[in-house]
A and B are shown apart, each in its own frame.
Chain A
Amino acid sequence: MAREADLLPGTLDLLILKAVSLGPLHGYAVLSRIRQISGDTLFIEQGALYPALFRLVRQGLLKTEWGKSENNRRAKFYELTSKGRKRLREETDGWNRLVAAIASSLAAQPQEA
């Protein structure tokens, strides 16, 4: 079993937005996509995905539509709105800046005396 990392609080929303940005997905596919793009390293409690999806819909970042899944089941598809796309861009930039800052802090060597 691959080592799993706990999600940082607030990052689930970002991951969902990223996962959906490549095209409309239903809930289970969102989860599979996250697992796939993260290389199976992130652990997400499956049920916890849904409250996050509902929240993003309420904020107008995602829109929903009922359709047919790959094996012909009725499923709810989530799609990025233009507002969601903008938010994803901002959050991605913010995240990258944060990571870079933390990485460079951690990489700092003690000054030689």
Chain B
Amino acid sequence: MIAYFRSLAARFVRRRQTERDLEQELASHIDMRASELVRSGWNQASAKRQARIEFGSLERFKEECRDAIAGNFIDILLQDLRFASRILRKSPGFVAVAILTMAIGIGATTAIFSVVDATLLEPLPYPQSEQLVSIQDNFPGVGARDVGMSEPEWQDLQHSGVFEYVSPTWFDENNLTGASQPARVRLLIVAPNYFELLGVQPHLGRGFDPQDHSPGIIPEVVISDGLWKRAFGSDPNILSKSVRMDTDLYRIVGVMPAGFDAPGRTAEERNIEIWAATSFYGAPLSDHPPRNRRNLPTAIARLKPGLTIAAAQSRLDALVASLQKQFAADYPQQNGWTVRLVPLKERVVGNVRQSLVLLLGAVGLVLLIGCVNVANLLLARASTRGREMAIRRALGAAQARLTRQLLTESLLLSFIGGIAGLGILFLLKDFLLQLVPEHLPRLNEISISWSVLLFALVASVVSGILFGLAPALQAGRLDLNHALKQEGRVSTGSGERARMRRGLVITEFALSLVLMIAAGLLLHSFWDLVNVPLGFNPEKVISVRTRLPSPNDPKIDKYATAAQEAPFIRELIRRCAMLPNVQEVAIGDTASIPLDESLRELKLISEGQFLLTVEGHDTQSEHSSVVERSSVSPNYFHLLGIPLQRGRLFNESDNDNTPQVAIINQAMAQTYWPNKDALGKRFKSVKSGAPWITVVGVIANARTQSLVQEDVPQIYLDVYQTGVQRLAILLRGHLRAAAIADEVREQVQALDPTLPVSGAQTLNETVSASLAQRRFSMEMVGLFALTALLLAGLGIYGVISYLVSERTHEIGIRLALGASRANILRIVLRQGLGLAIVGAAVGLVCALIVSHLMASLLYGVRPTDPLTFAGVAFLFIGVALLACYLPARRAMKVDPMVALRYE
């Protein structure tokens, strides 16, 4: 071993010394032999000559000695690299194209991988995050999901022995006062064990005491690093300060580290600014919360160490079954209560997985097509380098050595391409991150990490081998005799090489067709969604939000009841209607903003979700008893242009003292009162003591809940009868969002200076934001597909050009024998089209498989949409025709005289 390293050192460290010693040793051998010959009677000159002859080929033995020193393979590699770079420098055009192709392919693939790695592959940034789960309560019997849990159920789970900690999480907004402007903050109400559960502690101060079981809301909060910096100027003495939220006073006990995100599905849920803790009983909550009041919307938990999710789930199922038996009155049979454990990571990233995998697949295809293209270029070069290879073989280069040389060349190409791609990625990093839609979970975790660099390296090596393999193997099978006999510059590619190139073009076409069809289907879906009749008119409408406080002490709540709230709403509408350019005003809760996704989770939790019982119906087992609900002022329907179909709208006579009324949409009427007149029918919330609500009007269906679904049942209540906390002020007119926010703030704060005003957005922006994820997928896949199409076009162009130049002689003969130019054109085009059609056929079959896999990403388009398939196929044939026409024209212009003299 030591000897080996000494030998290695001789090669690399003392290279010159070693070389000199070798020289001297061999020379001295020859000298010694010569002097011996002189002693035996030779004359000086011929002795020297004889000694050299006897020694044999000096250079060959020197080389063999060098080989015998350790580390020879490294030298050969360096030699190959030197040679490769010299060869590549000689054809800058080819090199530029190949490197650019690889840079785009590897750069784009690495970029997408960095997103996939950060979101899907990396564990959540909490210690032992694989033990973290999200708890989901469902009523499959009535089609209700995520119905939340009650306080007694939370206690049951904590004592089940399955979990180390269980914490309900209750996302809410709140009004933070005390700073220069009242601000809306994102609040998460949790159990005191929340931070222990996640395993993350504040970097300043402390978390909550996990043993704290005092009733009510604990008057302490932990704030986020962002809020600390923004609202408190990074005050180092923050821990002695207090904040007022909804007029209640809380002491700040901790500041979370920068970059800490709460686990959540939406950006709102993740960017929590304030955490408050409670044991979920005692004022302002109920002292003895009933088992059937599911007011804890979501919950997370940490499993006991070593317990798998499957094992925990089965123990939980047993617990649920026994609870249902024990408290039969609280768990109606038809609900079929279940509690599901979902890995927390799944909950956070689950709904973007499919889009990301699709993108990674798409970009991988682009890289593959790029490889095929470069392989094609290399094969074309191989045909002109045939003679070089043949001569090197004839001079004694081993076949393995030539193959290795060619592979070194391709690896060098793909490495330079990969480095260039990474370089571009580094330069464009900030720009690219802006393209990523904001809703993407774990956005701030995206980085060019070691695993991303490793991926780029592997991608480079694999691509280099992929595109280098075909030409290298080809060169290995060189027919020496044949190649050397070739007189011409171009050794007419063996039939095999031509076959290989045609195969590559077909592959390329098939792959890019798959991508184009995927992109076409996404585009078609998106187009349909953008053009779907909304059922309401979003033009010239702007929404602005505010929020009424609800202090923990109901006695100081100025807006405790609908009657107390009504004057404020009436006055605000009156004032806003008088603002310049405002034509119409309506006020509702935030659930009434059509297609608003920013608070989607929140809507499900506290506003939108409405568990109802319908008068005269015993069970609703045939359909969900959960209906979307929002509270609106009478003018809402006119402002949005949703037509009334039967009955009446809300009017001034509906108020806190009159019976509650509702307006429902047609889908609701058809679902709950099919073939009956819904007017005058009554329903009520399942909450105990809830009043009956009478249907007074039916409006047309509108896609206010989801662009994808037209007939979502919907209930509208009168805002003057319900009393809402989060208000959306909708204004119609020629308005600018930025200016109107300030004007509305002025009016709101003239009525109550403690109210925050936020989030001015045109309705068109809201609608467009609801399409953000689809738009992102579509744009990216579309971009990749266009790149693929371009590459495929170049590929077929290259092959046909090459075939034409190879057949110049033959074409000359044909022309000389009387073939018309049109004949020649037909021959060339037929050859190209043949390839394109075979490629398209293979591609169509693959696309059928892929499109079924992405069915859930589509809207309104079947995975076999004939329009998309036919359109893309025709586009492809068109591109192929164009790519073949250019070389075909050259073929037509062949001068038979020149062609026949050629070669």
Chain A residues with a Cβ under 8 A of chain B? 26-28, 31, 45-48, 50-52, 54-55, 57-60, 66, 69, 71, 73-76
Contacts and interface: CB of A to CB of B under 8 A. Distances in A.
Most buried by B among A46, A47, A50, A52: A47
A50 B22 CA distance: 9
Contact of A46 (B28, B33, B65): B33
Nearest to A73: B28
B232 interface: no
23 contacts: A27-B28, A28-B29, A28-B32, A31-B29, A45-B56, A46-B33, A46-B54, A46-B55, A47-B26, A47-B57, A47-B60, A47-B61, A48-B61, A51-B61, A51-B65, A57-B3, A57-B7, A58-B7, A60-B2, A66-B21, A75-B25, A75-B28, A76-B21
Nearest to A71: B35
B4 A58 contact: yes
A51 B68 contact: yes
Contacts of B28: 26-28, 69, 73-75
A69 B58 CA distance: 22
Contacts of B2: 60
Interface of B: 1-4, 7, 21, 24-26, 28-29, 31-33, 35, 54-58, 60-61, 64-65, 67-70
Nearest to A55: B68
Contacts of A51: 61, 64-65, 67-68
A73 B32 CA distance: 9
A81 B68 CA distance: 18
Contacts of A48: 56, 61, 64
Contact of A47 (B21, B31, B58, B70): B58
B68 A60 contact: no
Contact of B3 (A45, A52, A60): A60
Contacts of A46: 29, 33, 54-56
Nearest to B67: A51
Contact of B65 (A54, A60, A74): A54
Given A48-B64, A55-B68, A74-B28, 4 more contacts: A58-B7, A58-B69, A59-B3, A73-B31
Q: Would you call the interface of chain B mostly helix, strand, loop, or mixed?
A: helix
Contacts, number: 67
Contacts of B1: 60
A108 to B, nearest CB: 40
B32 A50 contact: no
A54 B68 contact: yes
Nearest to B11: A58
Contacts of B21: 66, 76
A90 to B, nearest CB: 18
* 3 closest A-B pairs by CB: A60-B3, A54-B68, A51-B64
Contact of A60 (B4, B32, B60, B61): B4
A58 B64 CA distance: 13
**Chain A binding surface SS class:** helix
Contact of B55 (A47, A58, A66): A47
Nearest to B4: A58
A63 B7 CA distance: 11
A50 B25 contact: yes
A60 B789 CA distance: 60
A50 B4 contact: no
Contact of A54 (B24, B35, B54, B69): B69
Nearest to A56: B68
Contacts of B26: 47, 50
Contact of A27 (B7, B25, B64, B68): B25
Given A27-B29, A51-B61, A51-B65, A74 B24 contact: yes
Contacts of A76: 21, 25
Contacts of B70: 58
A46 to B, nearest CB: 5
A74 B416 CA distance: 48
Which of B24, B29, B67 counts the most chain A CB atoms within 10 A? Answer: B29
Nearest to A46: B55
A69 B70 CA distance: 28
Nearest to B31: A73
B592 to A, nearest CB: 84
A48 B58 CA distance: 10
Contacts of A57: 3, 7
A58 B68 contact: yes
Nearest to B32: A28
Nearest to B61: A47
A59 B3 CA distance: 6
Contacts of B31: 73
Contacts of A75: 25, 28
B231 to A, nearest CB: 71
A41 to B, nearest CB: 17
Contacts of B65: 50-51, 54
Contacts of A69: 28, 32
A56 B182 CA distance: 85
B36 to A, nearest CB: 8
B409 to A, nearest CB: 30
Contacts of A74: 24, 28
Nearest to B57: A47
A85 to B, nearest CB: 15
Contacts of A73: 28, 31-32
Nearest to A27: B29
B34 to A, nearest CB: 11
B164 to A, nearest CB: 59
Nearest to A75: B28
A90 B294 CA distance: 86
A60 to B, nearest CB: 3
A79 to B, nearest CB: 13
Contacts of B61: 47-48, 50-51
B18 to A, nearest CB: 10
Residue in A26, A54, A59, A69 with the greatest tally of chain B CB atoms within 10 Å: A54
B660 to A, nearest CB: 96
Contacts of B29: 27-28, 31, 46, 50
A58 B35 CA distance: 31
A46 B26 CA distance: 10
A71 B32 CA distance: 9
B46 to A, nearest CB: 17
Contacts of B33: 28, 46
A2 to B, nearest CB: 16
Among A48, A52, A57, A58, which residue has the most Cβ atoms of chain B within 10 A?
A58
Contacts of A26: 28
Nearest to B71: A58
Task: Please indicate which of the listed interface residues B3, B24, B35, B70 has the most CB atoms of chain A within 10 Å of its own CB.
Answer: B3
A58 B25 contact: no
Contacts of B54: 46
A26 B27 CA distance: 13
Nearest to B51: A46
A71 B28 CA distance: 12
Contacts of A47: 26, 55-58, 60-61
Contacts of A52: 68
A52 B25 CA distance: 14
A10 to B, nearest CB: 15
A1 B26 CA distance: 26
A28 to B, nearest CB: 4
Contacts of B58: 47
A33 to B, nearest CB: 13
Contacts of B24: 74
A55 B60 CA distance: 15
A75 B29 CA distance: 9
A53 to B, nearest CB: 8
Contacts of B7: 57-58
A17 to B, nearest CB: 15
Contacts of A54: 65, 68-69
Nearest to B62: A50
Nearest to B64: A51
A3 B35 CA distance: 25
